[in-house]
Amino acid sequence: MPAIVSIYRNVSFSKVNGEIFAIYFTFANQIPLGNFISVIDVTSTLLSGTDADPSTMIDGWRDIVGEEVMIVQQVNGGVAGNIYNIVCTVTDNDGSVYEVEMHLALTN
């Protein structure tokens, strides 16, 4: 069974309350040349603040772009003042699992 390769991107994005925008997760340095993403899961959890359902930050829209190793995910909603941890987990065509996570701070 392939191992899970996890990378934390120390990148923080700020999002204004009510703003809808896309975030990008790249797996170009993780997924071997010739492999491609076959399964995508993006989750949102709360790092600080109060939000009864932080998963609602993740809009249903997402896509694979580039050389089949980059994910674009639309985010929406959230609570002003909170910091969210957004994790993108993908499985490639040979069953290897990769993760990239980032922080998203919601401003007023």
pLDDT at res. 11 = 59
How many Cβ atoms sit within 10 Å of the Cβ of residue 42? 22
- pLDDT more than 90, % of the chain: 27
Coil, helix or strand at residue 54: helix
Confidence check: pLDDT of 56 > 80: yes
Spatial separation of the C-alpha atoms in residues 85 and 44, rounded to whole Å = 6
Confidence check: pLDDT of 1 > 50: no
Give the pair of three-digit tokens for residue 101: 């996570």
Selected from 2.40.50.140, 2.40.30.60, 2.60.40.10, 3.40.50.261, the CATH number assigned to the domain covering 4-107 reads: 2.60.40.10
Please tell me the pTM assigned to this model.
0.84
pLDDT at res. 40 = 92
Give the pair of three-digit tokens for residue 69: 């190793």
Q: Of 47 and 60, which is predicted with more confidence?
A: 47
Give the pair of three-digit tokens for residue 75: 């985010």
Contact 72, 33 (CB under 8 A): no
Q: What is the pLDDT of residues 17-50, one digit of tens each?
A: 778 888 888 888 888 888 889 999 999 999 999 9
pLDDT at res. 53 = 93
